[in-house]
Structure 1
Amino acid sequence: MTHKHCFEALDRTMRDISRSSQPNMQSKPFGGKVILFGGDFRQILPVIPKGTRTMIVNASLNSSYIWRHCKVLKLTENMRLRVGCQEADLKEIKEFGEWILKLGDGLLGEENDGEIDIEIPDDLLIHDQQRAILAPTNEVVDSINKELLESLPGEEKVYFSSDSLCQSEEESELNMALFPPDVLNNLRLSGLPNHKLVLKVGAPVMLPKNINQANGLCNGTRLKITKLGKVVIEAKIITWTNIDHHTLISRLKMTPSDKKIPVKISQRQFPLSLCFAMTINKSQGQSLERVGLYLPRPVFSLGQLYVVVSRVKNRKGLKILICDKEKRVYTTTTNVVYKEVLQNL
């Protein structure tokens, strides 16, 4: 999901550094150093806000001048599916892995070079309304989180953020009039928690940013609330490294990198968000035992459907609920594949 400009900036920096001490390495990419890129172009590409298909494809690494210097090494065995499996399940696992690859390559159903409806196997479908943990948009995720928090026993505790313009911003009368505190409180910006954060003991939460990487407190780390205080929240890490480690989370002052508004704002809030459910983009890179996908609207970006079905270790760990606004259940959904991204691999 990294924009090609990040790699190109690293390339130019390393060329500049190497040129000063080793003139014979001027023309070599990355100053002659070996760089290993890891990833899957079937998955979600760099996120370009309101970007067109052309803009998204052009932001990918294989659209960069660096790509002609790369040698592609392909992995041939799906280790995620084979870990801990029984010999009797190998045939089913192989078939499931092949189905995942066909979905990612746009080979299911008719020829797919964009968006096309595909049939979902019956054993993966949920035919009645049940809980799900992955969804395509933040609005759907928020509705699931709110409903499941209400069903969790215990008393709710509400934390409100303190929002203001950054001190670096000019405190002009126009800025103060356009962005008073009540307007800032209602903004939903990427990487920031909600102004009104409602929590309960036992609720699962996720960190939206890196806090302490050495202790496993990174962007995407999931925790379980154990105590709710006035100035700190105690939680237990439940994913990745340092599982079962208890940590204290305090309020932080955060500034979003979102360019939706012309001024910089500062928010003071606990860096936590509920994660009974989470967006498909946020789940990328994680291995999960069970995934429930809730699709009240189709996926809208390349690789989102592929990311969901490849999070689980076996077919039994995946369930999909496809419905519309009237709660009518369907067996088909949209798959998005851009063939031009996959052609030069």
Structure 2
Amino acid sequence: MLNKHCFEALDRSLNDIMKTQFTHGYDIPFGGKVVVLGGDFRQILPVISKGSRSEIVGSAINSSYLWKHCKCKEPLLELVNFAYPKLAHNLQKNSFFQERAILAPTLECVEEINNFMLGMIPGDETEYLSCDTPWKSDEDSGVNAEWFTFEFLNDFKCSGFPNHAIKLKAGVPIMLIRNIDQAAGLCNGTRMIVNALTKYIIVATVLNGNNMGETTFIPRMSLTPSNSDISFKFQRRQFPVALCFAMTINKSQGQSLSHVGLYLPRPVFTHGQLYVALSRVKSRKGLKMLIIDDEGVVSNTTRNVVYQEVFDNI
């Protein structure tokens, strides 16, 4: 909650040090460095000795030319605190994660929340990198496997397929995204808590299903994308899991939860998706929504997608 002139002085100094004006022909905020601002405008504002109300408000950082470059994370943090209150104190309680989740419409939104929450968890982070191998193309396919570099394959992401890089910590919730052993209840959608992370095995406790509470060992698997729209084939050897503080709305179908945070940085995009999300929670008090409009402002309305013609002959 410093005076905006302090931030503006730092901005000019970093631009001089980084020579951004010479390199880019214009100044960029803080010389291209990431700056994290902490505080709450509802509590403490900059102190201006004998200053008027307008002088105090005008000295705050959101009155500066820098504010247009800032992104406020407070609404998302409030949603996280609702779905996972006192997270650090409840990490060792498996029951804490059994009936809690944040839902979002797309994989990009889910990944944003999961990465945000992983940073809130104490402890060392373990990163698992996949081994991606292009398939030898059939003679009639017209696709040359040599066109696909490892960098290109590593960047590939799709639903039901693990990322090239998976970052985990002990105590975080994960979800299986492929069937491993259906008889043992290790199916696509099974949620678990990480107990230990080793080089070749993830040790986890099952959170839902008939095998709830059992310890299981998850190996790496050789997987291929199941998306039929992809014109090429490759194999990724990786753990078939994903962080699941948050999950897509579609992935949550069939689950009954006591606390649901619904994150909508954009409206739902298909019929019934909003209905599915709202139906996951057992009571109204267990639901909190964060809706962002097209201008990036928190809103209290969103669009529901309904294909009305499907009801014509009912």
TM-score (norm 1): 0.60
The answer to whether the aligner puts 1:293 opposite 2:262 as a matched pair is yes
State yes or no: 1:164 paired with 2:133.
Answer: yes
Matches within 5 A, 1:294-313: 294-313=263-282
Q: Deviations over 1:196-236 (max 9, x none)?
A: 01000011111111111111111111111000000111001
The residue that corresponds to 2:176 in the other structure is: 207
CA contact (8 A) 2:133 2:234 kept: yes
Q: Distance in 2 between matches of 1:311 and 1:236?
A: 23
- Map of 1:242 onto structure 2: 211
The answer to whether the 8 A contact 1:206-1:220 is kept is yes
> Quick one: distance in 1 between partners of 2:122 and 2:227?
36
State whether structure 2 residue 259 is matched by structure 1 residue 259: no
CA–CA distance in 2 between the matches of 1:334 and 1:288?
A: 23
* 1:221–1:195 Cα change, 3 Å: same
Counterpart contact for 2:107–2:159, Cα < 8 Å: no
Determine if contact 2:264/2:292 at 8 Å carries over to the other structure.
yes
Q: 1:270 aligns with which of 236, 239, 242?
A: 239
Alignment gaps of 5+ in structure 1: 1-125
Shift of 1:326: 5.9
CA 1:217 to 1:127, structure 2 compared with 1: closer, same or farther past 3 Å? closer
Provide closer, same or farther for how the CA distance between residues 127 and 248 of structure 1 changes in structure 2, counting only shifts above 3 A.
closer
Contact 2:171 2:193 in 1 (8 A): yes
- Distance between the aligned counterparts of 2:313 and 2:142, measured in 1? 53
Question: Quick one: distance in 2 between partners of 1:331 and 1:271?
Answer: 37
Deviation of the 1:285 alpha carbon: 1.4
Aligned residues: 220
Corresponding residue SS for 2:303: strand
Q: C-alpha displacement at 1:167, in angstroms?
A: 5.3
Q: For the Cα contact (< 8 Å) 1:204–1:276, is it kept in 2?
A: yes
Distance 1:323 1:172, change over 3 A: closer
Q: Tell me the distance in 1 between the aligned counterparts of 2:247 and 2:76.
A: 21
RMSD: 2.3
Identity of aligned residues (%): 53
3-state SS in 1 of match to 2:161: coil
> Structure 2 vs 1, CA of residues 168 and 223 (structure 1 numbering), >3 Å: closer, same or farther?
farther
Higher relative contact order structure (alpha carbons within 8 Å, sequence separation ≥ 6): 1
Mapping for residues 41-80 of structure 1, pairs under 5 Å:
none
- Of residues 221, 227, 239, the one that matches 2:190 is 221
The one-letter amino acid paired with 1:343 is D
Assess, with a 3 A threshold, how the Cα gap between structure 1 residues 318 and 151 changes in structure 2: closer, same or farther: same
From 116, 119, 123, the equivalent of 1:150 is 119
Q: Give the conservation status (yes or no) of the 8 Å contact 1:169–1:264.
A: no
Contact 1:207 1:221 in 2 (8 A): yes
What's the counterpart of residue 159 of structure 2? 190
The alpha carbon displacement at 1:177 in A equals 3.1
**CA separation of 1:338/1:266 partners in 2, compared to 1, >3 Å: closer, same or farther?**
same
Contact 1:169 1:263 in 2 (8 A): no
Q: What is the DSSP-based 3-state SS (H/G/I as helix, E as strand, rest coil) of the residue aligned with 2:119?
A: helix
In structure 2, the gaps of 5 or more residues are: 1-74, 84-101
**Greater gyration radius:** 2
Q: Distance in 2 between matches of 1:169 and 1:283?
A: 38
CA distance in 1, matches of 2:306, 2:142: 48
The 1:173–1:180 alpha-carbon spacing in structure 2 relative to 1, beyond 3 Å, is farther
Shift of 1:193: 0.5
TM-score (norm 2): 0.66
User: Where do residues 21-60 of structure 1 align in structure 2 (5 Å cutoff)?
Assistant: none
| Whole-angstrom distance in 1 between the partners of 2:259 and 2:224 | 34
Distance 1:309 1:136 in 2: 12
Distance 1:171 1:151, change over 3 A: farther
